[in-house]
Chains A and B, each alone.
Chain A
Amino acid sequence: MSQSSVRPLDLIGIGTIGLRSRPGRTALTAIGIAIGIASMVAVLGISSSSKANLIAEIDSLGTNLLQVQGGQSVLGESSPLPVSSQAMVDRIPTVTDSASVIQIATKVQRNRFEDEPNGLSVLAVGRGANKTLELEAASGKLIEGETASLPVAVLGSVAAERLGISRVADGVTVSIAGHNFAVVGILKPLTLNPDLDRSVMIGDWAAFDLLGVDANPSTIYLRVRPERIEATRPLLARTANPKAPNEVSVSRPSDALEARAKVDKGLQQLLLGLGGVALVVGGVGVANVMVISVLERRGEIGLRRALGAKRGHIRSQFVIEAATLAGIGGLIGAVLGSAVTWAYATRQGWLVDIPVTGLAYGVGGALLIGAIAGLYPASKAARLDPAEAVRPHA
């Protein structure tokens, strides 16, 4: 005797007939799943948009900025770079720009009578700094050419704020080691080098002449041809300080920022967890509706058994129905979540980055949750005694 069988495509048709005949109930049940998926997609989408935006910002600033710093010797003494180090580094063909910066061990104040600690540092910057660090003046101008030997200063954005100077005007000075320096410019914030925001820069010649500073650079900043960064990096320590390459540290400021973009995970996970809870509640809703549906459709189940459906066919019908129901919710949720991401990111002026794999996982997860939610009602339906199920009920 041949067993009864159903074509796979027909099985899907059977599995969705219950949904098609009760569209209102289908929509209401799908909403629960939709909310869960939408919130998860939105959380992922918004955070990845924000990350994409930050990375794009870093890229626009240039990831080809490298930083060479004198470090410490094995004995713990500070080991500045040789005076000639900038010139040496400049000879590497892949280096396009460079600038040396000398950290001066002194304080900067609004005037010579003040003595409050303000956490600001004083830097002597040499030629090439404006270009290499992409310095831009928010107010006033930068130190250029001959002004490097004059007693003038440019303030980092945070330094300006702490010193109480909001814009450049005639007669505004700061006091560095007892000397008055005229403030000629205030810098825009530097995303790649936030340390420099807390510094006051003076020309290197002014530092040598007026303050008697040593010419050993503390840090050399350099721009490298972007495709040659990894090849250039290992050469730098040896080139900058051939006598003690171990004491030189080479870093890439954009790396730190990129790492920061990835760190902000805690809140994201909390929100994802909340979305997961909504999803589980939605799944319970699906199970609930399916149990009711099985009770209501005893007659249909009995009829199908009489027409030759095996228990497995009935079970598949209800599992497919539950999975489809949740899958519809998942799709609605994915669309909703993407829309929220788009709206939020656009409002923030970010790049819109909708995580496609996240969407696929969302819809797939919804299908899975639906199928799991459908297992119990489906096995209840499959176990119904056909003779009992076809009996007319009051």
Chain B
Amino acid sequence: MSVLRLERVCRYYESTPPVKALHEVDLEIEAGEMLAIVGPSGSGKSTLLNVMGTLDRPTSGRVWVDGEETSDMSDGALSGLRSSQLGFVFQGFHLMETVGIVDNVATGLLYQAVPKRQRRDRAAAALTKVGLGDRLDARPTQLSGGQRQRVAIARAIVADPALVLADEPTGNLDSSTSRDIMELFANLNQAGATIVVITHDNELADQLPRTVAMSDGQIVADRVKAISQAAGGVS
């Protein structure tokens, strides 16, 4: 079963003439996949991510998340879906600087009414998974940019979502840190997470098994790398 399915999704913004941020987009993502969505700025990548993440509703077309059709869902139901099935990583980290990183990550479970102790335990486990197991007492201000993004990634995966959506996760990082972050995503993907990374960095995108290219609100290419296919075929 696909984790995410878009069918003829359009997202228009009202103005004259209307802005077609997304036009007739079809996309299907299977569990365990890791893909990049690339394209120049203004091509509709972020709108696509918001629609996939149910933060934005399409003007027309249908979106399924983990097998559930979302167009008729109430705000409360969509919020429930986001809290349990979707994890987000943003370019700007969005960490609370006045609380420690464990509590920052634990926020990822706050809206599922998980008891505090359990939230913190699971947050510590998620932080260990992203390589910050030895910095559990730190505050975001004591960490480097790369480490902060790891905290944000830990927060996105702490609820074991069906799909992790990362919007320019390396946009604020230098190239070597960016490579580390992409490596972390690859490792999480190996461990079973389904991950979508939005980036305008083609080089970065090329490392991923699948690349979806966008231009003017439409998907212009959807390539699955031969290597990963081959690797799959050989075994």
A interface residues (Cβ-Cβ under 8 A, vs B): 1-7, 10, 14, 17, 20-21, 299-300, 302-313, 385-387, 390-392
Contact B46 A4 (CB under 8 A): no
CB of A310 within 8 A of CB of B56, answer: no
Contacts of B107 in A (CB 8 A): 304, 307
B37-70 interface (Cβ within 8 A of A): 46-47, 50, 53, 55-56, 68
Which residue in chain A gives the minimum CB-CB distance to B172? A392
**Which 8 A/B pairs are nearest by Cβ-Cβ distance?**
A308-B83, A308-B111, A21-B98, A387-B56, A387-B50, A4-B111, A4-B83, A3-B80
The answer, yes or no, to whether B91 is at the interface (CB within 8 Å) is yes
* The one of A14, A299, A305, A392 that contacts B79, using a Cβ cutoff of 8 Å: A305
Q: Is B97 in contact with chain A by the CB < 8 A criterion?
A: yes
Contact of B80 with A307 in the complex, beta carbons under 8 Å: no
In the assembly, what is the distance between CA of A311 and CA of B55, in Å? 12
Q: Is the CB of A307 within 8 A of B111?
A: yes
Kindly state the separation between the CA atoms of A386 and B53 in the bound complex, as whole angstroms. Answer: 10
Which residue of A has the minimal Cβ distance to B90? A390
**Is the CB of B96 closer than 8 A to any CB of chain A?**
yes
> What number of B residues sit within 8 Å (CB to CB) of A?
37
Query: In the docked arrangement, what's the CA distance between A313 and B83, Å?
Result: 13
Interface class of chain B by DSSP: mixed
Q: Min CB distance, B32 to chain A, in Å? A: 22
Q: Is B17 an interface residue (CB 8 A)?
A: no
With the chains together, A10 CA to B106 CA distance in Å? 12
Cα A276 to Cα B47 with chains together (Å) = 49
Contact between A307 and B83 (Cβ–Cβ < 8 Å)?
yes
Q: How far is the CA of A299 from the CA of B81 in the complex (A)?
A: 20
Residues on A with beta carbons closer than 8 Å to the beta carbon of B56: 385-387
What separation, in Å, do the CA atoms of A21 and B108 have in the docked complex?
Answer: 19
Report the minimal beta-carbon distance from A302 to chain B, rounded to whole angstroms: 8
The one of B47, B76, B92 in contact with A4, judged by C-beta atoms closer than 8 angstroms, is B76
Query: Would B111 and A392 count as touching, CB distance under 8 A?
Result: no
A391 and B81 alpha carbons, distance in the complex (Å): 20
Q: What's the nearest-Cβ distance from chain B to residue A16, in Å?
A: 11
Q: Which among A305, A306, A391 has the highest number of chain B CB atoms within 10 Å?
A: A306
Residue of A nearest to B51 (CB): A387
Specify which of B76, B88, B113 is in contact with A307 (CB 8 Å cutoff): B88
Q: In angstroms, how far is the closest chain A Cβ from the Cβ of B91?
A: 6
B94 within 8 A of A: yes
Query: When chains A and B are docked, how far (Å) is the Cα of A391 from the Cα of B91?
Result: 9
In angstroms, Cα B157 to Cα A184, docked, is: 100
Q: Quote the shortest CB–CB distance from B141 to chain A (angstroms).
A: 12
Instruction: Contact check, B98 vs A306: say whether CB atoms are below 8 A apart.
Output: no
Asked if residues A14 and B80 are in contact (CB atoms below 8 Å), the reply is: no
Find B94's partner among A299, A308, A311, A385 (CB 8 Å cutoff).
Answer: A299
Question: Are A303 and B90 interface neighbours, CB within 8 A?
Answer: yes
**Chain A residues in 8 Å Cβ range of B84:** 2, 4, 308
Residues in B neighbouring A10, C-beta threshold 8 A:
110, 113, 116
Min C-beta distance of B217 to chain A, whole Å: 15
B14 lies within 8 A of chain A by Cβ: no
Q: Using CB atoms, name the residue of chain B closest to A20.
A: B98
Q: Which residues of the partner chain A approach B98 to less than 8 Å between Cβ atoms?
A: 17, 20-21
Min Cβ gap A300→B in Å is 7
A29 to chain B, nearest CB (A): 17
Closest residue on chain A to residue B167 by CB atoms: A390
Docked complex Cα distance between A307 and B109 (Å): 8
Residue of B with least CB distance to A308: B83
Known A-B contacts A307-B110, A392-B91; the reply to A4 vs B96 at CB < 8 A is no
Q: Is there a chain A Cβ closer than 8 Å to B134's Cβ?
A: no
- Bound together, the chains give a CA A204 to CA B75 distance in angstroms of 94
- Distance A353 CA – B225 CA, assembled complex (angstroms): 83
B82 at the interface (CB under 8 A from A): yes
Task: Judge whether B79 and A4 touch: CB under 8 Å.
Answer: yes
User: Quick one: given A4-B82, A300-B94, A303-B90, are A311 and B75 in contact (CB under 8 Å)?
Assistant: yes
Residues of chain B within 8 A (CB-CB) of A5 are 111-113
Query: In the complex, how many angstroms separate the beta carbon of B229 from the nearest chain A beta carbon?
Result: 33
Closest approach, in angstroms, between the C-beta of A7 and any C-beta of chain B?
5
| A310/B76 in contact, CB under 8 A | yes
A-B contact pairs, 17 of them (CB 8 A): A1-B73, A7-B113, A7-B115, A21-B97, A299-B94, A303-B94, A305-B55, A306-B82, A306-B88, A307-B82, A307-B107, A308-B82, A308-B83, A310-B76, A311-B79, A385-B56, A392-B91
Q: Once bound together, how far apart are the Cα atoms of A385 and B13, in whole Å?
A: 14
From B53, B92, B111, B155, give the contact of A313 (CB < 8 A): B111
The docked-state distance in angstroms from the alpha carbon of A306 to that of B82 is: 6
Give the CA-CA distance A87 to B77 in the complex, in Å. 91
- Name the distance in Å between B171's Cβ and chain A's nearest Cβ: 8
A313 vs B90: C-alpha distance when bound (angstroms): 21
- Are A310 and B75 in contact, with the CB atoms below 8 A? yes
Chain A residues with Cβ below 8 Å from B73 are: 1
List 13 additional contacts besides A3-B80, A313-B111, A390-B50; criterion CB under 8 Å. Answer: A1-B77, A1-B81, A17-B96, A20-B98, A21-B97, A303-B94, A308-B84, A310-B75, A310-B76, A311-B75, A386-B56, A387-B56, A392-B91
Smallest Cβ-Cβ distance to B66: which chain A residue: A1
Q: Nearest Cβ distance between residue B192 and chain A, in whole angstroms? A: 21
